[in-house]
Amino acid sequence: MSDITLNTCSIPVKTSRPQKRPNQDGTWGGKRGKVSKWSKSGKGKQIEKKPFKRKEEPQSEDEDENDVDFEVVKPKDVESEDEQVNDESTDQPANRPVSKTAGAVTALFKDVEDIPFMEHKDVTPVAESVFSAQLIHDMPIHPHLIANLEKNMGMSKVTTVQRLSYPVIMSGKDTLVRSQTGSGKTIAYALPIVETLQKIRPKLQRSDGVRAVVIVPTRELALQTYECFVKLLKPFTWIVPGYLVGGEKKKSEKARLRKGIAILVGTPGRLLDHVETTKNLVLDKVQWLVIDEADRLLDMGYEKDVASLVRSLNEQQYGNPEGEKERFHPLDVDAPEVKPSLLELAGRNNVKRQTIMLSATMSASVDRLAGLTLKHPKFVDAATVNEDGEEGDMELIEKDLVIPESLSQWYLLIPPKLRLVTLASFIVWKCRMSHERKMLIFFATQDMVDFHTEMLSSVLGTREKKTGEVDDDSDLEDEYGLLKKKDEDEEDEKDPSLVDIDFFKLHGNMTQKERTDVFKTFRSATSGVLLCTDVAARGLDLPHIDWIVQYTAPPTAADYVHRVGRTARVGTAGSALIILAPSESTFISQLEDRKVKIKEEGLELCLQSLVPTMAVSHPGLLKMRKGATELAATKLQLRFEDAVTGRKELHDLACKAYVSFVRFYASYPVDARAVFNFKALHLGHYAKSFALKDAPSQIGGLGKKQWLDRGKAKAGHGGQGGRPSGGPRHAGGDWQQQRQQRPRGGPGSSRGLAGGRGTGKIMDGKPGSGAAMKSTQAVHSKPSPFGVKVSEARATKMAISEFSSGLAPRKRKKKED
Ligand SMILES: Nc1ncnc2c1ncn2[C@@H]1O[C@H](COP(=O)(O)OP(=O)(O)OP(=O)(O)O)[C@@H](O)[C@H]1O
């Protein structure tokens, strides 16, 4: 039962509802004076709406944010002119009784922001074929390796990036690799390493020390990369891989290092920790330094860690932190000296190290990182390098983003109030139809992940305890038999679950054991919804993900690419949806400017899926000729609000999540603020999307003005991009969190300077992105979606059938897990 405060004030307010058709000039400006179907409450009763106000210019910020979102029920004796308006769009009866307890409904569709029409650019995406014509069978590698790839790892063709990078890496040159997500970059660098190491005779001994160091940004990616090496090395048991990540016991890691490891994978912090403190870690023979997700490592403020690692390697290898520039890699074709044989190579400890950096999104920032260690690198860009092996164009590498062709991308512009209910509808829509659905949902902060996991699993899973009282919106439903007086017997009953699916969560503030368990369980599950921060955005190869949903937008287009890249891997089909507020619509323009083709979907279609679902417990919904979607959505929103109101721990989680979101939003990097403008936030509406009924100033303890003041005060401090103090454990916070957990001091203290989001988004702050925003503009807006039927609005533009095709059976590639 919702405890929404009944507001029975009799302020004579005007009603408004959006018109159903565009104006003659083609715009969608709302027309006033009609009564919403939500406004009719029955006999002489009317739920009135406050006058529609665009929120761009609130009278005062604090007033605006405390705008509580409940419709006003007028007392019986108060009538307004609006009641004279005959709303033909509703088939709800005019004379309905209102229950005594009925009052304010959760005003989900009232005063919602207009949705802008987007004019799309004609985008021709950058094409990169996943596979080359070359067969694994024809690779110039050991037959056992071929057999292993084919039989145990289920591969038959070489991917484009693998074909292109193999000879370059084998040449011994420093190499930069860009290739789309899911194109097999891990094997692209692992294969030359394994092939070279297996050739060494006498065979490598465990005591020979580390030959390859692989640095990756997250623990999960370290584990995954290690597992990839384990598979590749199956025929060559004498070559031992290992991994080091924060959160594991250092003692057992030291023991493993003592035994000897040839290929060492790790996160930068823990690697550096061991380099500095573990005597048995011998690095004087390292031939390969691989930096995967190189741009991300810079984002995270790990530049200094990586630099320290390189210096340690140099010292161990050459006795000089600056490195031994004149030494050469024995396989370097350009080396002036006579090259030693592979046999000699085994005994040498002063060969030049080869550095390989990879990412699906190369940027100027990678150049900076590359400057630490790369010398005359060769660029391999799988999208621009043609079959003749011509080098990639760095300018294009900088500008255009490459997205897998098999990925279909959608965006949804929704008023903030409707965010939660829309997300839930989407899950219900996509996961209810099949028991084999996997979805990843990205959130900005760890607190948001915690709250939404708890909320969605409890409310979509099973109905909260009933309270024996009448639904708040019962006055709307009575006529359809939806008015339900719940008696004591029902108290402990639960409604059937709305969706039969497991919810998982993953973020950086979980214990290492929890993280590993979730990662492994979700990876092998056939269905499930994983709610996560950006800790899962990079490199993770989770098989059979059908949908990627971005519930909060990433700060840059590059971040977008990595998130959506968790699906549609190695040529399989996948879909991605990004949910944006109308005020954030120019993010789409930025994507298009960088050659990302993305289509619009309508809110109506998404919410429609709720009707049959909610009808299980509210059968009257199916009898309604109009308004069923809105009612179903309202019903669901009420369930959310009831849950938050009824459970203190959930209310606490909601408050924390809301506060973390607001902080997060206030801390978008400076160059992203033109799109993600904190001032444009209607905090009251966002609070509703956390199912909170409290006024925003009561939740966060700060009004918008104070937030902004704090943001300003902080701007310019430590490259944090104006993030308020005590900032959120946002996506970036995951990385910060990991770093804080590292039990060492030393260089860590200065790392923060390079870190944070302020420094990490150089790529998108470069000239062009600002201008880009203007190219695809919301030229005019239409009123809030309800009242505009899909068929009348943009059904054709939206390519509904394509969107729905996510329901079609997947074409999956059989892969080793
Ligand atoms: N030649 C191949 N044929 C079939 N599958 C392959 C081939 N090479 C790699 N794969 C598989 O493709 C998947 C993606 O590989 P990988 O994780 O290396 O991609 P990536 O390019 O590093 O992606 P990201 O940019 O997201 O990190 C893995 O499951 C891997 O086993």
**pLDDT digit string, tens, across residues 223-257:** 999 999 999 999 999 999 999 987 778 888 888 89
Ligand 1 neighbour 574 (Cβ under 6 A): no
Give the strand pairing for 438-442 and 547-550.
Answer: parallel
291 shares a domain with 409: no
Q: Which range has the top average pLDDT, 339-343, 356-360, 371-375, 741-745?
A: 356-360
Same domain, residue pair 295 and 440? no
Query: Is any ligand 1 atom within 6 A of the Cβ of residue 165?
Result: no
Q: Say if ligand 1 is within 6 A of residue 360 CB.
A: yes
Q: Whose CA is nearest to atom 6 of ligand 1?
A: 184
Taking the CA of residue 221 as reference, the ligand 1 atom at the shortest distance is: 27
Q: Which domain holds residue 586?
A: 403-462+497-702
Which residue is closest in CA terms to ligand 1's atom 20? 182
What radius of gyration, in Å, describes the C-alpha atoms of the chain? 29
Buried b (16+ CB within 10 A) or exposed e, 705-730: eebbebbeebeeeebbbbbbeebbbb
Per-residue pLDDT band at 552 (split at 50, 70, 90) = very high
The alpha carbon of 162 and the centre of ligand 1 are apart by a number of angstroms equal to 10
Please determine, for residue 687, whether its predicted confidence score (pLDDT) is greater than 80: yes
| 139, 155, 162: residue to mutate for ligand 1 pocket, most atoms within 8 A of CB | 155
Ligand 1: atom nearest CA of 186 is 18
Ligand 1 pocket test: which of 146, 187, 225 has the largest number of ligand atoms within 8 Å of its C-beta?
187
Cα separation of 733 and 750, whole Å? 17
pLDDT tens digits, residue range 460-479?
875 443 333 333 443 344 34
Q: How many domains does the structure of the chain reveal?
A: 2
Ligand 1 contact, 217 CB (< 6 A): no
pLDDT band at 679 (very low <50, low <70, confident <90, very high): confident
* Residue 504 shares a structural domain with residue 591: yes
Residue 580 CA to residue 533 CA, distance in Å, equals: 17
pLDDT of residue 672: 85
Q: Is 491 exposed, middle or buried (0-12, 13-18, 19+ CB in 10 A)?
A: exposed
**Is residue 231 within 6 Å of ligand 1 at its C-beta?**
no
Q: What is the pLDDT of residues 784-817, one digit of tens each?
A: 444 333 333 333 333 333 333 333 333 333 322 2
Quickly state the pLDDT bin for 424 (edges 50, 70, 90). very high
In angstroms, rounded to a whole number, what is the distance separating the alpha carbons of residues 40 and 94? 7
Measured CA to CA, the distance from residue 769 to residue 587 in angstroms comes to 10
Q: Say yes or no: CB of residue 183 within 6 Å of ligand 1.
A: yes
159 lines ligand 1 (CB under 6 A): yes
Query: Are residue 566 and residue 640 in the same domain, yes or no?
Result: yes
Q: Ligand 1: does its nearest atom lie under 6 Å from the Cβ of 187?
A: yes
Tell whether 633 is covered by a domain: yes
Residue 574 sits in the same domain as residue 654: yes
Look at residue 328 in the predicted model and tell me its pLDDT.
46
User: Domain for residue 738, yes or no?
Assistant: no
Using the mean position of ligand 1's atoms as its centre, give its distance from the Cα of residue 187 in Å: 7
Token couple for 111? 């005063």
| 153-168 burial code (b ≥16 CB/10 A, e <16) | eebebbbbbbbbbbeb
Residues 36-43 have a mean pLDDT of 32
Instruction: Find the 180 Cα to ligand 1 centroid distance in Å.
Output: 10
3-state secondary structure of 46: strand
Same domain, 444 and 545: yes
Q: Using the predicted structure, report yes or no on whether residue 377 has a pLDDT greater than 60.
A: yes
- 186 ligand 1 Cβ < 6 A: yes
Tell me whether residue 289 is in a domain. yes
Pocket test for ligand 1, best of 156, 406, 548, 569 (most atoms within 8 A of CB): 569
Say whether both 513 and 581 belong to one domain: yes
User: Do 448 and 360 fall within a single domain?
Assistant: no
Instruction: Please give the pLDDT value at position 463.
Output: 40
> 756 to each of 414, 508, 660, 732, 739, how far by Cα in Å?
29, 15, 16, 7, 12
Q: Is residue 798 part of a domain?
A: no
Q: Give distance in angstroms: CA of 27 to centre of ligand 1.
A: 46
CATH of residue 274's domain is 3.40.50.300
CA distance 790 to 607: 11
d(CA 17, ligand 1 centre) in Å: 51
Convert the pLDDT of each residue in 496-523 to its tens digit.
Answer: 678 888 999 999 999 989 999 999 999 9
Nearest residue by C-alpha to atom 2 in ligand 1? 155
Query: Is the minimum distance from the CB of 368 to ligand 1 under 6 angstroms?
Result: no
pLDDT per residue over 327-362, tens digit each? 444 445 454 444 444 434 444 445 678 999 999 997
> What integer best gives the mean pLDDT of the chain?
71
Among residues 675, 702, 729, the one where a domain terminates is: 702
Q: What is the pLDDT of residues 8-17, one digit of tens each?
A: 222 222 223 3
Identify whether 689 is part of a domain. yes
Where does a domain end: 702, 724, 747? 702
Query: Using CA atoms, how far apart are residues 797 and 783, in angstroms rounded to an integer?
Result: 17
Structural domain includes residue 487:
no
Q: Which residue among 673, 702, 731 closes a domain? A: 702
The per-residue pLDDT for range 264-277, each reduced to its tens digit, is: 999 999 999 999 99
CB distance 14 to ligand 1 below 6 Å: no
**Ligand 1 atom at minimum distance from 224 CA:** 17
Instruction: Using pLDDT thresholds of 50, 70 and 90, give the confidence band for residue 601.
Output: confident
- For atom 25 of ligand 1, the residue with the nearest CA is 181
Cβ–ligand 1 distance for 225 under 6 Å, the answer no
Quick check: CB of 185 below 6 Å from ligand 1? yes
Give me the pLDDT at residue 656, please.
94
Cis peptide before 669 (omega within 30 of 0): no
> 768 alpha carbon to ligand 1 midpoint, in Å?
32
308 and 409 together in one domain? no
Q: Is the CB of 181 under 6 A from ligand 1?
A: yes
For residue 645, report the distance from its CA to the centre of ligand 1, in Å.
Answer: 45
Is residue 377 located within the same domain as residue 423? no
Judged against a pLDDT cut of 70, whether residue 685 lies above it is answered with yes
Residue 137 CA to ligand 1 centre (angstroms): 18
The pLDDT tens digits of the residues spanning 121-148 come to 888 898 899 999 999 999 999 999 999 9
Are 365 and 456 members of one domain? no
Q: Residue 304: inside a domain, yes or no?
A: yes
Among 41, 48, 54, residue whose Cα is nearest residue 15: 48
Residue nearest to atom 4 of ligand 1 (CA): 155
Q: What is the pLDDT of residue 435?
A: 66
Please spell the DSSP secondary structure of 669-724, one letter per residue. Answer: -GGGTTTS-GGG--HHHHHHTTT--S-HHHHHSS-HHHHHHHHHHHTTSTT-TTPP
Domain co-membership, 237 together with 303:
yes
CB 89 near ligand 1, within 6 Å:
no
Amino acid in the structure at residue 548: I
CA distances from 78 to 42, 655, 659 (A): 13, 36, 39
* For ligand 1, atom 27: residue with the closest CA: 539
Hey, what are 421's tokens?
A: 């209910």
